[in-house]
Amino acid sequence: MIAAADLARQVWRSFARVFPRCGVLAQATAFNLFLAFFPTLLIVVALATSRIGGKTSLLDLITNLTQFLPPGSQQIVGQFLIKRGPEAWKIALVGWAGTLLAGTQVMRMLMQGIHLIYEDRENLGFLRRQFRGFLLFLITIAPLLAAAILGVFGRPLRRWLSEEIGRHSSIHGLWSIFFPTAAFLFAMVGLAAIYRVARPRAESLRQVLPGAVLATTLWWLVDVSFGFYVRRVPYSIVYGGLAAVVGLMVWMQLSVIVVFLGAAWNAELADGRREARRV
């Protein structure tokens, strides 16, 4: 009974660290994450239109996935598929630049939110904050992007692999286990890196793993719950063609809040360790 009360108290304190102090910051971070989505899409489609994509079914996969994307991104994909040449790579370079700029701002805001959660006094200058955000983005873009792709597009990817390898392959049944497990591990690695780099002098990798595991689990629950909600709520009746854009931004804001909740859990555990040492 006492353990349950302590757990409930810790959960409440974790929420209190995030709300309301990080509410506006979560919205701003989600907006920058939304801005980073489109230039990243340019890079992915450029890969699909390259020789690598032409030798496989990657181009057909990207084309089929446009039905899950917002209307604006569908138009971008269409323009890429029409050009399919050197011009696509030139625009992809712009996509890289946009991804780096928007992604750096996302990481900088995440670090700012984590410092608010821990009530740290950060004395870094503007350039140093930008540089740390840039480095953190380079470190985490691969695992987080892999987790997002496997989590959002896991079913189409499984279907594509089944067609490429063969439906009667002996490993076909393992894809349903491999994709969720890989997405979970990639997300956990990326979140642990964010928590570790945000407070390099105060936290060790072992101390940030509990929050990374919690945030990854919550992230998976948010994906499943939000997907179930969107499929049953007639967003298109109210928002029309903007329904996918609204849904994507809401999902991104919920994802940012989950990252902050993981950091708040680590902060509560850190306070508990300090109190234990005093006793």
Q: What is the pLDDT of residue 163?
A: 62
Structural domain span for residue 101: 2-278
Between helices 126-152 and 154-165, what is the axis angle to 10°?
A: 60
Looking at residue 88, its amino acid is A
Q: What is the spatial distance between Cα 102 and Cα 184, in angstroms, rounded to a whole number?
A: 24
Q: For residues 166 and 53, what is the distance between their CA atoms, to the nearest angstrom? A: 19
Domains in the chain: how many in total?
Answer: 1
Q: How many CA within 13 A on the CB side of residue 168? A: 0
Query: What is the model's pLDDT at position 28?
Result: 92
Q: Are 207 and 266 in contact (CB under 8 A)?
A: yes
In this predicted structure, what is the pLDDT of residue 234? 67
The answer to whether 264 and 15 are in contact (CB under 8 A) is yes
Q: Tokens 């286990």 appear where?
A: 177
**Phi, psi dihedrals of residue 70, rounded to the nearest 5°:** -60, 160
Which H helix or E strand runs over 180? helix 175-198
On the question of a cis peptide bond just before residue 143, with omega within 30 degrees of 0, the verdict is no
Query: What does the pLDDT read at residue 72?
Result: 47
pLDDT at 53: 46
Under-50 pLDDT residues of the chain = 1-2, 52-58, 68, 70-72
Encoded amino acid at 2, one letter = I
Residue 152 pLDDT: 60
The stretches of 49-125 forming alpha helices (DSSP H) are 51-55, 58-65, 71-83, 86-118
Whole-number pLDDT of residue 113? 93
Tens of pLDDT along 52-89? 444 444 455 555 555 545 444 555 555 555 555 555 56
Helix (H) or strand (E) segment spanning residue 35: helix 23-48
